[in-house]
Amino acid sequence: MTARKRPQRSLIPKLKRIRLFATDVDGVLTDGGMYYSESGDETKKFNTRDGMGIKLLQRAGIITAIVTQEHTKLVARRGERLMIPEVHQGVMDKISLVRDMAERHGLSMAEVSYIGDDVNDVETLQAVGFSASPADGMPQALAAVDYVCEKKGGEGAVREIIEMILAAQHRTVNAIKGKNQ
């Protein structure tokens, strides 16, 4: 078992406030590739460790969300499997949607974390309390965030951020697991 990533001291105050965690899909929860079978079916590869991280956040009482421009059955299915309460597809104005989500949950934008990787995420990345991009995010996204992950999209970048949030909030995996047993 690897050690939990300790957040940089300067990021801890931001991470402590997080009550809603939102993520883009392509290039963040996936490697950004779009795979097609001979019959034309589209597939995506999701990282199971990212999925477990999302479950840990939920058990810790943090609201989880997917916000993506794409609209696919794959994303709907992944959201259902992880029991993500806020799955928003076909979103062209991500910042408005994230502000609306925060308001509906009685949160300020300072209590929201967002991870994105491309130009359509920049405005949202700049507006939230804590923002991140996978290591292979586009330069515009990398320049806009509080933290650039060591991991690439689809390779554990989401879990990396989740571990930082949990560590900053002094939530141990054992305590979280015990909550729901």
**55-74: average pLDDT:** 95
Would residue 24 count as lying in a domain? Answer: yes
Would residue 5 count as lying in a domain? Answer: no
Residue 8: count other Cβ atoms within 10 Å of its Cβ: 12
Would residue 2 count as lying in a domain? Answer: no
**H/E run at residue 53:** helix 48-59
Q: Residue 42's domain is classified under what CATH number?
A: 3.40.50.1000
- Is the model's pTM score more than 0.85? yes
Would residue 4 count as lying in a domain? Answer: no
pLDDT over threshold 60, residue 5 = no
Per-residue exposure over 95-117, b if at least 16 CB sit within 10 Å of its own CB, e if not? bebbbebbeeeebebebbbbbbb
**113-121: average pLDDT:** 98
Which of the pair, 157 or 180, is modelled with greater confidence? 157
For residue 60, the enclosing domain spans 12-179
Share of the chain above pLDDT 70, in %: 91
Would residue 3 count as lying in a domain? Answer: no
Residue 61: count other Cβ atoms within 10 Å of its Cβ: 11
**65-91: average pLDDT:** 96
CA-to-CA dists, residue 135 to 12, 64, 105, 115, 148, angstroms: 20, 22, 30, 11, 6
Alpha-carbon distance of 156 to 158, in angstroms, equals 5
pLDDT over threshold 60, residue 173 = yes
Query: Which pLDDT does position 172 carry in this prediction?
Result: 67
